[in-house]
Amino acid sequence: MQPLTRDDLLSLEQYARERSAWRERIIAHKKPRTLQVGPNTTWCFEDRATIHYQVQEMLRAERTFEQGGIEEELGAYNPLIPDGSNWKVTFMIEYPDPTERAAALSRLKGVEDRCWVAVGRLPRVYAIADEDLERENAEKTSAVHFLRFELTGEMKSELRKGAVLALGIDHPAYSHALEPVPEASAASLLADLD
């Protein structure tokens, strides 16, 4: 997928006029790309459309219209677009109760490195986590991480042939898998691969 450029973006005025329609489209687009792995984690598989929407929303929220600010947003968000050989995921740890969340984030240190995808009987591929900055400290992990899964040529080929896609987490304090990934989700993710 190609990175976003200034030419891909709408002006603040045009985006304000079209925002409702964009929002409806992106909600429908994200539905098969947003997957629960166990009761307390959500994986949002990003692509050019989801990142385009996010950039437009950030520019709107910050009232950014100058070239330097636009380029800064593009520089921050373009790395979250998959390049045809990988998947990029926003990984969220979700506990509604603040006390329970604090305890869980302490228990789940390192969970971002224990996230995996698997294709058929091929070996699991584990996430490369948080390349932008460290999101964990001595006491706890973060509630949001950014993951990259690098797929082999064999994995991509097997997916095209209809192999089962699975994903999961094998952390000692949180071990859950989604197998198989629903068909509509797998088809959407397959479209990210060249």
Domain for residue 116, yes or no? Answer: yes
Q: Looking at the domain assignment, is residue 1 inside a domain?
A: no
Position 103 in a domain: yes
Residue 82 lies inside a defined structural domain of this protein: yes
Residue 94 domain boundaries: 6-190
Provide, rounded to the nearest whole percent, the portion of the chain with pLDDT above 90.
83
87-120 pLDDT tens trace: 999 999 999 999 999 999 999 999 999 999 999 9
Pairing of strands 165-171, 115-119: antiparallel
Q: Which residues pair with 119 in a beta bridge?
A: 165
Tens digit of each residue's pLDDT, the chain (194 residues):
789 999 999 988 999 999 999 999 999 999 999 999 999 999 999 999 999 999 999 999 988 788 888 899 898 889 999 999 999 999 999 999 999 999 999 999 999 999 999 999 999 999 999 876 666 667 889 999 999 999 999 999 999 999 999 999 999 999 999 999 999 999 999 999 98
pTM of the model: 0.91
Beta bridge partners of residue 63, listed in sequence order: none
Tally of domains in the chain: 1
Short-list 19, 38, 22, CA closest to 30: 22
E-strand spans in 47-192?
Answer: 86-93, 115-119, 125-126, 128-129, 144-150, 165-171, 174-178
Query: Domain for residue 150, yes or no?
Result: yes
